[in-house]
Amino acid sequence: MSIFSIGSDPEFMIGNGDELKSAIDFLPSKENSIKNCGNEFYYDNMLAEIAIKPSFSKKETIENFEKSLRFLAKKVYPNKIGICSAAYFPWEEINCNQAKIASCNPEYSAYSLSVVRPSIELIEQKEDHYQFKTNLRTCGGHIHLGSEILENGLAKINVVRMMDLFIAIPFLFFDLQNSKLRRSCYGLAGTHRVPSQKGRLEYRTLSNCWLRSPEYVELIYDLCDFVLDFVKKENHKKFWSFDESFDGEDVSKAHFCHGYDSKSLEECINNCDLEKAEKFMLIVENFLDKDLLIRIFRLMKKDVADFYESWNL
């Protein structure tokens, strides 16, 4: 068990039946966000976003998520928020500059150790921001962690890599709706941001699929706990090593993956390749706690939960 905090900034699409609507019509900007129970609500481009405050226990995590989801659901009623990785919005909804602006804060790869740029086919760079070129929009379910182990830069990179292996790989089997389409834009393997606060990490690979029900959120909580403890005990060294004597310009060449094919893992996640994921699951099964494995496989066999029923929205 690790001592850590967990929060999130999930994005949701708003719709009425099959008709998607811009969140700009329902929520204020991030600068003028609505605050409720310590959580913040605002639009991000055409999506509804919640900044869910950090929690320090599984019980508190579920309570915070439930309160924030209920508040947002009431805010957009009679429309609904939905779990969806990516979708094309009607062009008539893209009717202002705010609907075109994409995130401009840089994100980094835990493998190349460099900035990850959005596809120029989908997003173009302006002077002070990125802008969407198409009507495709994607929903992230970024995980925000706080832990003493994350105060170490090298450990932070290894936490991201282990989150790819032990979280992103299993969740490929749960995120089947347009997840590959999302990763043509955002959510590549190993993508993360490093907040200014000490000991913090934003893991950006997952979509909002893990907010489908409390059961999924509880699983994410316990998998994060496992990964942080795994790296704290230096078990990641069974997969990765670092050459401290390296003095070249490309620092990524000082990192060696000897426990699996890291390039193949990146391709597996980026392409949502379930055949490759099944092979990586064999590695996961050798290291993950039995209880967590049982829960993962049980959810794989379970019918997809209804989002509104699961959270009693």
pLDDT above 80: residue 258: yes
Q: Where are the domains of the chain?
A: 5-306
User: pTM for the whole thing?
Assistant: 0.96
Task: Report the chain's mean pLDDT, rounded to a whole number.
Answer: 95
Please give the CATH architecture assigned to the domain spanning 5-306. Answer: 2-Layer Sandwich (3.30)
Q: What is the mean pLDDT of residues 255-260?
A: 98
- What angle is formed at CA 221 by the lines to CA 217 and CA 224, rounded to 5 degrees? 135
Q: Which two tokens mark 161?
A: 């890599």
Q: Which two tokens mark 248?
A: 């070249």
pLDDT in tens, 169-211: 999 999 877 899 999 999 999 999 999 999 999 999 999 999 9
Tell me how far CA of residue 241 lies from CA of 41, 234, 249, 263, in angstroms: 41, 10, 18, 15
pLDDT in tens, 95-146: 888 999 887 688 999 999 999 988 878 888 887 778 999 999 999 999 999 9
Inter-residue contact 209 to 85 (CB < 8 Å): yes
